[in-house]
Amino acid sequence: MQCRDVSELASIAPDVSLAPGVRVSAFVNLYGCEIGQDSRIGAFVEVQRGASIGSRCKISSHSFVCTGVVIEDEVFIGHGVVFINDRHPRATRPDGAAQEEGDWQLERTWVRRGATVGSGAIIMCGVEIGAGAMVGAGALVTHDVPPGAVVAGHPARVRRIEYVAREGSVARD
């Protein structure tokens, strides 16, 4: 669903940078992030402060893009994809006080140009998904994914390397 007046159906903070042509569906939560030209954001997506989404991307419904995630141009993110940015999450400090921003270590994640992340995938922090790579639905990505690789499983493992040309032809190694 493309919203004509997203102010009533989505929460978009004033510090969000939306490039021309961005389409935002209903029930989206965006704050402190950047979204590139002609990208599409599906329903029930959250994009946190400090995250960046490139141009001509599609972020499907129910996905979570947290602080520290950089998604380059022409990336497809399937339904219900979850990115993680903290390897050792805790609600409180050792003294029982609530954790604050300085109490944890952010680990950045990159999804390079033209990559695809299938529905239900979980992307651990500190990894890079290479250009043109494909992460299978439901995969748990715990290590870097080489450019052009197809990965699947728990944890995700390389199944094959393929290069997808701009014209759509596929060459396999």
Per-residue confidence in pLDDT tens, the chain, 173 aa: 344 445 467 899 999 999 999 999 999 999 999 999 999 999 999 999 999 999 999 999 999 999 999 999 999 999 999 999 999 999 999 999 999 988 999 999 999 999 999 999 999 999 999 999 999 999 999 999 999 999 999 999 999 887 554 545 454 55
Judge whether 92 lies within some domain: no
What is the C-alpha separation between 101 and 172, in angstroms, rounded? 44
Residue 169's pLDDT is: 47
Closest by Cα among 65, 52, 53, 22 to 40: 22
**What's the domain range around 147?**
6-87+104-172
**pLDDT given at position 93:** 93
How many whole angstroms separate alpha carbon 147 and alpha carbon 133?
Answer: 5
User: Does a structural domain hold residue 99?
Assistant: no
Whether 1 is covered by a domain: the verdict is no
- Number of independent structural domains in the chain: 1
Q: What is the CA radius of gyration of the chain?
A: 17
Q: What pLDDT sits at residue 13? A: 92
Confidence (pLDDT) at 130: 97
pTM of the prediction? 0.89
What type of residue is 89?
Answer: P
Q: Within a domain: residue 121?
A: yes
* Interatomic CA distance for residues 38 and 75, integer angstroms: 12
Residues present in the chain in total: 173
Q: Is residue 96 part of a domain?
A: no
The enclosing domain of 149 has a CATH number of 2.160.10.10
Cβ count within 10 A of residue 56 = 16
Judge whether 98 lies within some domain: no
DSSP letters spanning 118-134: -TT-EE-TT-EE-TT-E
pLDDT digit string, tens, across residues 88-125: 999 999 999 999 988 999 999 999 999 999 999 999 99
Is 24 part of any domain?
yes
Domain membership flag for residue 75:
yes
